[in-house]
Structure 1
Amino acid sequence: MKKRLLILIISFTINIIPRSLYAEKLFDVVTKEPSSDQRSIAFVDTVTGKDRIVEVNMSGKVVWEWKFPSNLIGKRKRSICKGSDIKYLKSKDELLFIIPSVGAYIVNRKGNLKKVIEDKKISHDIDLLPNGNFIYVRGWADKGEDEVREINQRGKIVWKWSHAEHFPNREKFLLNIPKKTKMRWKGEIGRRKTLKSGGIDWAHVNGVERLENGDTLISLRNFMMFVIVGPDGKPKQSFQDIWLVHEPHKTAFGYIAADRFVKRGRFLHSIIKVSNGGERTNLLTGQFLTVRGIEKLPNQRFNITSIGNVFEIDSNGKIFHRMHLNIQSEDAERNLTKRKRLGMVMRKGRCAHKNLYKVAKTKVYK
């Protein structure tokens, strides 16, 4: 009798424990200040190997997930690590996301899926514009192909842009890159080939933002710059010599972006503030590796995604919230050199060593 009673008590206790205590934990929290943005983050899961979109709260725990239907699982296997963007559509509580080299989709909380774009070159970045159109990047396009497209709700292309007409000579934008670095990027030293030849993946456009005045900001990684172009596509202003630039955005102080500067074998990647006049300030140099996500938050703060960290900063680089993937150590991205390489400290994860790409702030769960 006592044994049965004990079993009943244990069963009842387990049932009333909040589900959050059993939640899957993906991140460990390092910094958490009261003024930090407590909204959860969503991202295409490029970490665990599960085929899903996952939402994680600011304690690092999974609060919602949507598993890919079978028709998407087969399509994404080889491409999901090559620029899986996501945006939160607050008005309808939906998520807009990219499966690179496949297409863009919108999913709601009930799991209803809508295909909005089918494009074998789509990757890296997509936005829903106020007029209902979509603007997106075709990051793996070859020289001469359009790398940015705007389409309407019917799927018709209403605006497109290619670097080829305006910047035909890539080499002149690499003049300030050290010779050995260029040789490494071109595959003349080592195995990895960042700058391909023969017009393949020539500009590697990895970001686009439509500005309030109708201009468009475009990030050209392989040209080490971002450019502002008018509605006619003609360049109006460019910001150059930002090594393998990612995620430039217009801000109140000018612009923000991320670089991948390396000096004498030391990884000195930074967040870069750029004034309208071109003056630059580097933030958090050497602290986080390969930032590929910068989301603008209220009060001139930013949510940053490196390959294993998600953190909130202000315009001076102060960190208000930070959490890192629990499959890597807290300091895995710091003090990296030729002797302490990425593959040595970040071996786990589906897309290791570059596990995270971008995340999007969503909402607070009570």
Structure 2
Amino acid sequence: MERRRRMRYLGWGVLLLALAFGAQGLAANEGVTATSDAGGPYEGHTLVSVQSYGLDGKLLELNEDNEVVWKFDPPKSRVFDAEQLENGNFLVAVTTKLSPEKCPDDQLVVASDQCIEARVVELDYETKEVVWEYSWYDEYITHHEVHDVDRLENGNTAIVDMGNDRAFVVNESGAITWEWQAENHLAQGTEFHEKYGGPADPGGETDWTHMNDIDKLENGNFQLSVRNFDVVIEVDRETKDIVNVVGEPGNHEVLDHQHNPYRLRNGTVLVADSENDRVVELNATTDEIVWQYGGRGLLHWPRDADRLPNGNTLIVDTFNNRVVEIDRNGDVVWSYSGVQMPYTADRLSVSEEDHETVPGTELESRYVETDSVRSALEQAEAYAAFVFPSWVELPELLTLAGMVLGTVWFLLEGAVAVARGQ
């Protein structure tokens, strides 16, 4: 009799939790929200690229009233880096998932049900038509996307190819004019590996370097972000030698799986230090922290940060699904929230190559951590977004967990009852 009573209570409990979960879904606000402090964000429209948790990536241009005035949303795609060119067009890194019949046979070895097309496209601003494109096929979408592109002053385009662990430059005709293969410079036996170490190259289609950013520096060299090595490197354009290293593989006090480093005119590097949940400005020679903003109490897995001319910093706070702008004191003066898994953000009034701004020595650092329990719950919430609808956040996850536990308990009680003939 006691077991039947427990089962009855469990059944009612699961039912009530299911009703509560439904009510949470009905009450959820899946739309975007924006706030702006009267003190003011830096002037200009904002370009936001959205990777998405699925395959509905997009590129958005927001005006100063936070209205979407331009949108690019290619089907079955994720959108990464984007920049506005001098002619007004947008250069965009896009990765599109393809069905197997559209894939070459040599890209169906690992995942025979699909492949991807990594694309760099220049879009006419008015018509959104593709006026220039460079693309290649790769195996599957996870860790094989094209993350960054950069149009050079001579019209060539610099690209990082994460899936093949390389960086390269193509001209307007699509011919490769420069190429840097990580295996020749980072693998075991190389000078870098002997001095700094780093993960061994496992070969095949595994995620070895996760190279995610390329920028041409004022001295003509290329700056590359090698995420899985926790380093930002400077590569001599002529010799292809690594001439400077910021960070150290495995030393997460400096960098931990970073994204989108941004070299300032004063020689420091502003980096979205993703796994450390912060944005950090580092001395490019000594790795000394000049300025930082973050901690799980402020940011969760940021992946882009730009220092604006007035000293404000524009930050993509990815797992909090928002873009924020903070002032010199670390106060949020603008935010755009509710966009699912943003990747980069640019203030279009600032030239892509203009890195003249206020150094971190004149800014106030801010770092706020959370307790380990809350941090773990927030991490679970972030990972759940890959599986559940966007409205399922921490409260909904707790309700769902209660439903699952209650159901399992109910079934176990039932199984015991059947086994004992009760």
Flag whether TM exceeds 0.5 (same fold): yes
**Structure 1 residue runs of 4+, over 6 Å off?**
349-353
Change (3 A) 1:321 1:67: closer
Secondary structure of the residue aligned to 1:322 is strand
1:203-240 deviations in whole A, cap 9, x for unaligned? Answer: 11001110011011110011110111111210111012
Seen in structure 2, the aligned counterparts of structure 1 residues 282 and 93 have a Cα distance that, compared at 3 Å, is same
Number of the residue aligned with 2:161: 138
Q: Which 5+ residue runs of structure 1 have no aligned equivalent? A: 1-24, 176-185, 187-194, 262-267, 354-366
Which residue is 1:342 aligned to? 379
Name the SS for the 1:219 alignment partner: strand
AA partner of residue 37 (structure 1): Y
The aligned counterpart of 2:233 is: 227
Matched, 1:41 2:46: yes
Shift of 1:37: 2.1
Distance in 2 separating the partners of 1:26 and 1:46: 17
**Structure-2 residue corresponding to 1:311:** 324
What SS does structure 1 have at the residue aligned with 2:162?
coil
| 2:81 aligned residue (81, 85, 88) | 85
AA of the residue aligned to 2:278: S
* Counterpart mapping for 1:97-116 below 5 A: 97-100=92-95, 101-108=117-124, 109-116=126-133
Q: Provide the rounded CA distance (Å) in 1 between the counterparts of 2:225 and 2:328.
A: 21
Structure 1 position 107, deviation (Å):
1.3
Report the Cα offset of residue 153 of structure 1. 0.9
The structure-2 alpha-carbon separation of the partners of 1:316 and 1:276, relative to structure 1 and needing over 3 Å to count, comes to: farther
| 1:198–1:349 Cα change, 3 Å | closer
Q: How far apart, in 2, do the equivalents of 1:55 and 1:338 lie?
A: 32
Does residue 290 (structure 1) correspond to residue 313 (structure 2)? The answer is no
Deviation of 1:198 (Å): 3.9
Residue 33 of structure 1, CA deviation: 4.2
- Cα–Cα, structure 1 residues 345 and 116, in superposed 2: closer, same or farther, change >3 Å? closer
Aligned pairs for 1:318-337 within 5 A = 318-325=331-338, 335=370, 337=374
Structure 2: tracts of 5 or more residues without a match = 1-29, 96-116, 139-144, 342-367, 391-422
Map of 2:274 onto structure 1 = 260
Distance 1:302 1:345 in 2: 24
CA distance in 1, matches of 2:51, 2:31: 12
Give percent identity, aligned residues only.
Answer: 20
Kept after mapping to 2: 8 A contact 1:173/1:223: no
Contact 1:49 1:350 in 2 (8 A): no
Say which SS state the counterpart of residue 110 (structure 1) adopts. coil
What pairs up with 1:55-204 in 2 under 5 angstroms? 55-68=61-74, 73=75, 77=76, 80-81=77-78, 84-89=80-85, 91-100=86-95, 101-108=117-124, 109-120=126-137, 123-142=146-165, 147-169=166-188, 173=196, 197-198=202-203, 200-204=206-210
Superposed CA deviations along residues 297-320 of structure 1, whole A, max 9, x for unmatched, are 324443211211212235664533
Superposition deviation, residue 293 in structure 1 = 1.9
Q: Deviations over 1:332-353 (max 9, x none)?
A: x984746414343675589988
CA shift digits 1:268-310 (9 cap, x unpaired): 4111111133211432222111111223532444321121121
TM-score normalised by the chain length of structure 2: 0.59
SS of the residue 1:222 aligns to: helix
Whole-angstrom CA distance in 2 between matches of 1:352 and 1:55: 24
> Residues 30, 234 of structure 1: CA spacing in aligned structure 2 closer, same or farther, 3 A cutoff?
same
* 1:272 is aligned to 2:309: no
CA distance in 2, matches of 1:340, 1:289: 12
| Cα distance in 1, alignment partners of residues 72 and 58 from structure 2 | 5
Residue-by-residue CA offset, 1:145-174 (whole Å, 9 max, x unaligned): xx1011111111111112222221369857
Aligned Cα root-mean-square deviation (Å): 3.4
Verify the 8 A CA contact 1:27 1:61 in the aligned structure 2: no
Cα pair distance change 1:103/1:341, threshold 3 Å: same
Instruction: Tell me what 1:247 maps to.
Output: 260
* SS, match of residue 92 in structure 1: coil
Aligned pairs, how many?
Answer: 286
Asked if residue 27 in structure 1 is aligned to residue 32 in structure 2, the reply is: yes
1:211 aligns with 2:217: yes
Task: Indicate the SS of the match to 1:119.
Answer: strand
